[in-house]
Amino acid sequence: MKYLVLAIKAAILVFLTLLYVGVIDVSTLFAGMKYRLRSAMEYYVDVLAGIAIFLILLDFIQFSVVWFYRRRHKVRGEDNFIVGIGQLYSIILVTGLALGLLSLFRIEVRTVLTSLSIIFAGLVLLTKDYIANMINGMILTFSGELSIGDNVRIGAHRGKIVDITLQNIHLINDDDDVIYIPNNVVMLTDIVNYTKRQIKRTSIEFEIDLKYLVTVEEMERNLVETLKPFEDLIQQNSYYLRVAEVNRGSVTMKFQYILKEPNKELERAIRRKTIRRLVEIISGREKFVDNIPELPDDFPGHA
């Protein structure tokens, strides 16, 4: 069906091109009209044919570029390049349609720009943030530093990138909240890309009062014991409890481990169990360490 639509578009494109260059004489269709009306109709037919050629040709170019890219790199879903091509397509489409409408009303672009230069200058000032966002969005899309599907931390927000638009980056965090971060903010903020690093280490950061901490080794042993149900899914000897910062009455620590296979749902389950165990330790309810529920057999990634 997709190729049938392409064939129809190709036939329309050929017909409109022949009509536009004059191979097909459109004047015979309006031979019975008065000269002025016939001239106007021929003009509008030429402009509309030009707009239609532009739209179909642009659609063909986008389809061809994406098709060749998918075939060469064996990409099934969407990646940064395909998203970037879509954004370029949108920009060129809007620009071309605007110019086509000006031509349809017989308005010269140069005349419009000259007569409305002051207004355009004001519009540029009013929309400078929007334009800067668009430019930064294109830079982020084609740079490859951030990709759809990456797990990142941007400023205070951490989550998975689900979309990159001309205005925002869309993150979904561990609570399934969708966070929209403007591209201007992203360009000026420190970014940690957990997906790009070679070792896929997962880190859980927490702060604990010194009165609940016996020793770092004891805390590490306790947390490792908590994750016994997941031991088949975590690399052996990859557990590591690191002291990140020591304050007057508390310690900031990072508990790290490496999963054998990347699994977002598994990460969330481990993080949830670890945090609940920390709450039990802080509240003094040590007896719960022996009552850790086993994982169900149908849990994603369970061996």
**Residue whose token pair is 């010269």:** 108
Model pTM above 0.85: no
280 and 219 in contact (C-beta within 8 Å)? Answer: no
Q: Which tens digit of pLDDT belongs to each residue from 23-78?
A: 555 555 555 554 455 566 677 777 888 888 888 888 889 888 988 888 887 877 77
Residue 179 has pLDDT above 90, yes or no: yes
294, pLDDT greater than 80: no
Q: Which residues contact 265 (CB under 8 A, 6 or more apart)?
A: 300, 301
Annotation: CATH topology of 201-291: Alpha-Beta Plaits (3.30.70)
Q: Does the CA dihedral 153-157-161-165 come out positive or negative?
A: negative
β-pairing verdict for 178-182 and 168-172: antiparallel
- CATH fold of 145-193 reads SH3 type barrels. (2.30.30)
* Dihedral angle computed from the Cα positions of residues 45, 48, 51 and 57, in that order, rounded to the nearest 10 degrees: -60
Q: Confirm if 120 and 174 have CB atoms less than 8 A apart.
A: no
Paired tokens of 241: 């409890």
113 vs 220: CA distance, rounded Å: 68
Q: Do domains 145-193 and 201-291 have the same CATH topology?
A: no
What is the tens place of the pLDDT at every residue in 211-250?
A: 888 888 888 888 888 888 888 888 888 888 888 888 888 8
Whether 104 shows a pLDDT value over 60: the answer reads yes
Residue 179 near residue 160, CB atoms below 8 Å:
no
Which residues are CB-neighbours of 299 under 8 A, at least 6 positions away?
266, 269
> pLDDT class for 273, splitting at 50, 70, 90?
confident
Yes or no: say if 89 and 58 are a contact pair by the CB < 8 Å rule.
yes
Beta bridge partners of 241: 255
pLDDT band at 301 (very low <50, low <70, confident <90, very high): very low
Q: Across the chain, what does the average pLDDT equal?
A: 77
Residue 259 CB: number of other CB atoms within 10 A? 18
**Tokens linked to 120:** 């355009």
Look at phi and psi of residue 149 and say left if phi exceeds 0, alpha if psi is from -120 to 50, else beta. left
Between 194 and 139, the more confident residue is 139
Query: How many CA atoms within 13 Å lie on the side-chain side of 157?
Result: 20
Hey, CA dihedral for 207, 200, 230, 301, is it positive or negative? positive
Residue 303, class by beta-carbon neighbours within 10 Å (0-12 exposed, 13-18 middle, 19+ buried)? exposed
The ranges assigned to domains in the chain are 2-115, 145-193, 201-291
